[in-house]
Amino acid sequence: MAALRFPVREHPRVRLIVARCSVTYEGRLAARLAEATRLIVLKADGSIAIHSDARAYKPLNWMSPPCTIRATAGSITAESPKGERLVVELLEIHHDHSIDLGDDPGLEKDGVEAELQALIEMRVQALRDDLTLVRREYPTDIGPIDFLCRAGDGRAVAVEVKRIGEITGVDQLIRYQERLDLDTRLAPTLGMFVATRIKPQARVYAESHNIECVEIDLDDLRTHDNPKLKLF
């Protein structure tokens, strides 16, 4: 085995580590990743993600920001404000590099998604009769949610809009809800996932998190007072 060299340093930048490691998670459930070579991504926003050379963009395990991350000569420990704990035991380091990515201008939405948002802003009740708009692009510390609304019973509704509804969009909405729920004026929020088409896997995933799914026809929204919606 090569000698383990893992410099302990501040974490103001993105850090990429390729290492043979094992991972243990303690929180809502207990989970363990057996020893293997993986990519560990530590971001300046206080998040950590563990990737393998499979599953595309989806990490094997992760902790969303904000987390307290501590590194020692042989491990990385991430703890969330909710008491979740992720421990990476480092057995052999193959690569360790940090870089400052600088400010990001943000994602430029395609024309369909941008138009959907503009039309929904004018007629948010097209999504549900009892909705009233609080604000478009409501800020959180991890980015803005597309819409914050109030339902007829006064509950806050977090609305995320996509052209095509995929699992990544549901994950994004879940993260926004977690941040919004830290505000006692909004918690507990309801989630609403809106798209012209929602993929079956995304719909199942959303429903498992009590998120309402709404499919909306863009042409109908442009031209009719009562757009055709499909609620799941």
Q: Give per-residue pLDDT as tens, 37-72.
A: 999 999 888 889 999 988 767 899 988 888 889 988
In the predicted structure, residue 7 carries a pLDDT above the cut 50:
no
> How many domains, the chain?
2
The CATH number assigned to the domain holding 92 equals: 2.70.180.20
| Confidence band for 12, pLDDT divided at 50, 70 and 90 | low
Domain co-membership, 59 together with 79: yes
In a domain, 6, yes or no: no
Residue 23: predicted pLDDT: 96
Residue 55: which domain range?
A: 14-99
Domain co-membership, 121 together with 226: yes
Domain boundary among 78, 99, 120: 99
The CATH number assigned to the domain holding 136 equals: 3.40.1350.10
3-state SS assignment for residue 231: strand
Query: Starting at the edge strand that comes first in sequence, how are the strands of the sheet with 132-138 ordered?
Result: 132-138, 145-150, 156-165, 190-198, 211-216, 229-231
Domain co-membership, 126 together with 223: yes
Burial label for 14, CB within 10 Å (0-12, 13-18, 19+), is middle
In the predicted structure, residue 17 carries a pLDDT above the cut 90:
yes
| Confidence band for 30, pLDDT divided at 50, 70 and 90 | confident
What would the pLDDT profile of 102-138 be if each residue is shown by its tens digit?
A: 777 665 555 677 888 888 888 898 899 999 999 999 9
pTM of the prediction?
0.55
Domain co-membership, 87 together with 155: no
What would the pLDDT profile of 182-202 be if each residue is shown by its tens digit?
A: 999 999 999 999 999 999 999
Average model confidence (pLDDT) across the chain? 86
Phi-psi group of 154: left, alpha or beta (phi > 0 → left; psi -120 to 50 → alpha; rest → beta): left
In the predicted structure, residue 100 carries a pLDDT above the cut 60:
yes
In a domain, 86, yes or no: yes
In a domain, 33, yes or no: yes
Q: Which residues contact 229 (CB under 8 A, 6 or more apart)?
A: 126, 127, 214, 215, 216, 217
| Confidence band for 153, pLDDT divided at 50, 70 and 90 | very high
Domain boundary among 99, 123, 148: 99
DSSP category for residue 143: B
In the predicted structure, residue 11 carries a pLDDT above the cut 50:
no
Q: Would you tell me how many other CB atoms lie within 10 Å of the CB of residue 160?
A: 24
In a domain, 70, yes or no: yes
Domain co-membership, 85 together with 117: no
CA dihedral sign of residues 57, 33, 84, 90 = negative
In a domain, 53, yes or no: yes
User: What CA–CA distance (Å, rounded) separates 227 from 137?
Assistant: 23
Domain boundary among 69, 99, 129: 99
| Confidence band for 226, pLDDT divided at 50, 70 and 90 | low
Residue 106: predicted pLDDT: 62
In a domain, 154, yes or no: yes
Task: Identify any residues that bridge with 52 across adjacent strands, giving them in sequence order.
Answer: none
In a domain, 220, yes or no: yes
| Confidence band for 231, pLDDT divided at 50, 70 and 90 | very low
> Mean pLDDT throughout 208-228?
79
Domain co-membership, 162 together with 65: no
User: What CA–CA distance (Å, rounded) separates 42 from 49?
Assistant: 7
User: What CA–CA distance (Å, rounded) separates 23 from 209?
Assistant: 25
- Between β-strands 30-42 and 68-71, what pairing exists: parallel, antiparallel or unpaired? unpaired
